[in-house]
Structure 1
Amino acid sequence: MKKYNTRAILASLLICGFVGMFSETALNIAMTNLMGVFQISAATAQWLTTGFLLTLGILMPMSGLLLQMFTTRQLFTGSLISLIVGTSIAALGFNFEMLMFARVLQAVGMGLLLPLMFNTILVIYPPEKRGAAMGFVGLVIMFAPATGPTIGGLLIEYLTWHYIFWFSLPFLIIGLLIGLKYLENVTDVTKPRIDLLSVALSTIGFGGVVFGFSKAGEGSEGWSSAVVVTSIVVGLIALVLFILRQNVMHNPMMNLSVFKYPMYVVGLLLVMSCMLIIMSSMIILPMFLQTGTGLSVFTTGLMLLPGSALNGILSPRMGSLFDKYGPKWLVIPGLVIVAVMLWFFTALSPASSGPLSWLCILGLWLG
């Protein structure tokens, strides 16, 4: 196996990934503030998150194709330039449209970076060390979104929301410089033929479903809205056609044969469930604590800090335990804890005590 400077490469990828995930949830805690500054409704403000996720949903399914068309260094550089430019525009933003454009650029960067990070780590680390490396990836995926509200709350309390992005910018530049020095090309560039129909079906399919689910939370009609139903139905039809086309193509844009392996499917469902819980919690909890219980932005961030700190401490350790014991003895207890904490969350109300809310949040991040 070829020798790589694994520590430097991992550090570069983790720094950039951490900052990208951090800015997503740090902005969530600023939603109430942004609604007042830009004089926009909650539904409009939510598009700062929806637009980000919609762009990710369209771009990430094409990551396999992009990894075959461009070198590792080209994709890394492109993703970081997009992140840095988007973050710079957001830091200078003076209206909603400018901030929205910046968020889309950030999403393009993250859509390129996240698949690249996973693929690179799987290549540069031998099988017996991948669990430990993925533990640090877990630190990014789980810990970064959890620290966003805390640090974001501190910045908003004493400065302005712009500093969420000014805070992120130096770390992205550092990550880019480390990557340019140490990151090597770890994938083969085969330059496959681009199947435009597959690209179109993927874009309509994933984009339609994400857009439909996002719109369902707006207005009084909810899931019965014609726009929501149409978007989801069209998206699902496009996805079915996309799957059928990939199965008959000699060189598909997305290799669906991996779904023949049960462990891969189970792992994918677990990751999807974790991200669903994490991202939804980081949107709902800050809004509940601020508007429901009357806490300040900074106090809300402090409420979320212990759980995120605990998660950050445990994530690398869990990766080592995975290498030693396998996933079964880690996944099952974690799912039980999360399920119990989510059940406790159903009992929370504006009248709930602070310690109860804090314990629920801490338990959720422990799971």
Structure 2
Amino acid sequence: MGKALSLPVDIEGKPFKRGGFVIVLMVGTFITIINQTLLVTALPRIMQDLGITANNAQWLITAFMLISGVMIPISAFLLNQIANRSLFFMAIGSFALGTLVCAFSTTFPTLLIGRIIQAIGTGLMIPLMQTLIFLIFPADRRGEAMGLVGIVIAFSPAIGPTLSGWIVDMYDWHYLFYLILPIVLIDIVLAFFYMKNVVHLTKPKMDILSILLSSIGLASLLYGIGVAGNIGWGNNTVLITCGIGFGVLIVFACRQFKLTEPILELSVFKDRTFTLTTVIVSIIFMTMIGSEILLPIYTQTIHGYSALRSGLILLPGALVLGIISPVAGKIFDKHGIRRLSLIGLFILSLGSFPFMYLSQETSIWWIICFYSLRMAGMGLVMMPLATAGINALPKKFISHGSAANNTVRQIFASLGAAIMVGIMSTTIAKYTGDQTVTKEGNILLEATVNGLNNGFKIAFILIIIAFILSFFIKQPFTISDRVDGND
């Protein structure tokens, strides 16, 4: 009982209460992550207002994902170089400045610059939050803590399209940023009182070449993957950028193993549990992001729903995810990961199977129910698996584990969206050009449904792969067996 009530201490040994510290981190991360999907349903209105094409508008999302993805692996180095309190203010300050620029932008270049500045803060905030929460909770309560993290990481991008649809339908798109700005400022004020320094700095040497290799490699790879869904995987642009990105990242990895003080400690992948759980979580996340793109296409194209109504259809599933995540964390703390992961992935498989058989007459309530079942399965496994993986690492590698975990998840998320959208687009092109499609009704709608079903088939196959991989998590891994044994 005494351990459960023990207070964390800062680097000077002074105890402090977790509540305010956690709230500051969660609010800061929530508002940064929600911006990954906040503009998805607002792009048509922005295109009309600023007089830009769809290709230009897409950069408001693509650039955000690229920059935030590039910043994530660098965060591990910065967290050991700069006091975490100062790094938090740098991250939230960058996001606040970017939001301010976006809120008052009247041209596309200004809006794009604002999004890039926002992304710098977002890329730093995600691994920062995960690392700090890990450090201030005792080992036997980290599942509970990461359950709270799961609410932020999974729930915020899920609710983004709903919030965006409501605001765009009711107000000007600038209100997407007007509403976020005061929340950011309040979080900054709270951070002055509650944010503490809890990371003992090791002051590693800065290797400029490693930072350049990481940035160029990730940016190139993420860009290639990002455009593949629209222009096809066989396009020269995709092949060249993905090839360059993959090659540069191999050079980056080789360099990290040779350095005595690497920018990103890739030796974390030598741990079987960490690697296995990271891959499984990333597969689950890529199917979640891909599905959140395909389902609005189905509801808006096939059923003719508005952006807001489409977002509301996804909302119950997001709420289920938010409720399940902290509960799953407590179950993990008590019973370990193996059984929980098998049950969660089985539920996720059951919820995913029906989406391979959508039709033009499929009931929306049917969609809501099975989508909520999918999200329940995800809530049971995503953060407990991530917690099990990082728990397996020595304490000094937690920041590197968080950065590596989030980097892989970012790449897989982009890959999932590109693959599922690409499969859908290819199917539509095949069916609309196939003379054997002679059924009465709109051929394009029929082709779209077939394309969506094929996209969801890919998601189901990936989930089955994740389910099979979960059998290779050998130990039940209850923290009581080795409380801080690796620390």
Give the drift of 1:83.
0.9
Task: Tell me, in whole angstroms, the C-alpha distance in 2 between the residues paired with 1:333 and 1:171.
Answer: 37
Task: Tell me, in whole angstroms, the C-alpha distance in 2 between the residues paired with 1:60 and 1:51.
Answer: 14
Matched residue, 1:127: 139
Task: Tell me, in whole angstroms, the C-alpha distance in 2 between the residues paired with 1:286 and 1:78.
Answer: 35
Give 5+ residue unaligned stretches, structure 2. 1-7, 10-14, 378-487
1:192-211 alignment to 2 at 5 Å? 192-211=204-223
Matched residue, 1:37: 49
Local SS of the residue matching 2:352? helix
Which moves more between the two structures, 341-350 or 43-52?
A: 341-350
1:56-85, CA deviations, whole angstroms, 9 ceiling, x for partnerless residues? 221111111111221111110011111111
Asked if 1:288 corresponds to 2:260, the answer is: no
1:84-103 alignment to 2 at 5 Å? 84-103=96-115
Give the drift of 1:185.
1.0
Task: Tell me, in whole angstroms, the C-alpha distance in 1 between the residues paired with 2:64 and 2:267.
Answer: 29
1:124-203 alignment to 2 at 5 Å? 124-203=136-215
Task: Tell me, in whole angstroms, the C-alpha distance in 2 between the residues paired with 1:38 and 1:364.
Answer: 38
Give the drift of 1:318.
1.2
Give the drift of 1:6.
0.9
1:50-89 alignment to 2 at 5 Å? 50-89=62-101
Evaluate the alpha carbon distance shift between residue 278 and residue 166 of structure 1 in structure 2; reply closer, same or farther with a 3 A threshold.
Answer: farther
Q: How many residues get paired?
A: 365
Asked if 1:298 corresponds to 2:308, the answer is: yes
Percent identity between the two aligned chains: 35
1:76-108, CA deviations, whole angstroms, 9 ceiling, x for partnerless residues? 001111111111222223232222211111111
Contact 2:36 2:65 (8 Å CA) reproduced: no
Give the drift of 1:286.
2.7
Matched residue, 1:241: 251
1:128-187, CA deviations, whole angstroms, 9 ceiling, x for partnerless residues? 111111110000011111221222222122112222222222221222111121111111
- TM-score when scaled to structure 2? 0.71
Task: Tell me, in whole angstroms, the C-alpha distance in 1 between the residues paired with 2:344 and 2:34.
Answer: 23
Give the drift of 1:350.
4.5
1:208-238, CA deviations, whole angstroms, 9 ceiling, x for partnerless residues? 110110121233xx11111111111111111
1:11-60, CA deviations, whole angstroms, 9 ceiling, x for partnerless residues? 00001111112222222122333333334343332222211111122111
Higher relative contact order (CA 8 A, sep 6+): 1
Task: Tell me, in whole angstroms, the C-alpha distance in 1 between the residues paired with 2:363 and 2:44.
Answer: 23
Matched residue, 1:20: 32
Amino acid at match of 1:273: I
- TM-score when scaled to structure 1? 0.94
Contact 1:29 1:287 (8 Å CA) reproduced: no
Matched residue, 2:274: 264
Matched residue, 2:372: 362
Amino acid at match of 1:120: L
Task: Tell me, in whole angstroms, the C-alpha distance in 2 between the residues paired with 1:68 and 1:349.
Answer: 53
1:220-274, CA deviations, whole angstroms, 9 ceiling, x for partnerless residues? xx11111111111111111111111111111111111111111111221133123
Task: Tell me, in whole angstroms, the C-alpha distance in 2 between the residues paired with 1:281 and 1:36.
Answer: 27
Give 5+ residue unaligned stretches, structure 1. none
Evaluate the alpha carbon distance shift between residue 359 and residue 36 of structure 1 in structure 2; reply closer, same or farther with a 3 A threshold.
Answer: farther
Amino acid at match of 1:337: I
Asked if 1:5 corresponds to 2:17, the answer is: yes
Amino acid at match of 2:113: F
Give the drift of 1:349.
4.5
- Alignment RMSD, CA only? 1.8
Which moves more between the two structures, 29-38 or 208-217?
A: 29-38
> Which of 339, 346, 354 is matched with 2:349 structurally?
339
Which structure has the bigger radius of gyration? 2
Matched residue, 2:129: 117
Q: After the TM superposition, which parts of structure 1 deviate over 4 Å for at least 4 consecutive aligned residues?
A: none
